């Protein structure tokens, strides 16, 4: 089961527990590091953590969340990638 949103940025893994969204992490990164922007690949570097701390990119996270029955409405998932809105 997915439990956190996560972003890999400059060699670090940033994450926040549900119901936070990826934009909350981006805001935190900007505030804590002083960078002007967080330019990461949406499909690979933005993802989720499960209850064991395993990282999943958005595509892999969709497969995992579907297997766990965690996706609120599978028919509304956009472009085959998972967003936090799809699970919480």
Angstrom distance (rounded) from CA 28 to CA 24: 6
CA atoms of 21 and 15, how far apart (whole Å): 10
Domain boundaries, the chain: 2-87
The rounded distance, in Å, linking the Cα atoms of 67 and 25 is 26
Question: Sheet containing 2-9: which strands, arranged edge to edge?
Answer: 12-17, 2-9, 46-50, 55-57
Taking the model in full, what pTM does it have?
A: 0.94
Rounded CA separation 67/45 (Å): 22
Instruction: Give the pLDDT of residue 63.
Output: 97
Each residue of 7-56: pLDDT tens digit? 999 999 999 999 999 999 999 999 999 999 999 998 899 999 999 999 99
> Scanning the structure block, which residue is given the tokens 């926040």?
16
């Amino acid at each position: 089961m997915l439990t956190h949103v996560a972003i890999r940025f400059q060699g670090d893994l940033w994450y926040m527990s549900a119901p936070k969204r990826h934009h909350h992490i981006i805001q935190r990164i900007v505030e804590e590091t002083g960078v002007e922007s967080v330019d990461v690949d949406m499909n690979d570097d933005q993802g989720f953590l499960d209850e064991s701390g395993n990282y999943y990119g958005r595509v892999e996270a969709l497969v995992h969340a579907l297997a766990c029955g965690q996706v609120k409405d599978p028919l509304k998932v956009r472009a085959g990638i998972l967003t936090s809105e799809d699970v919480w």
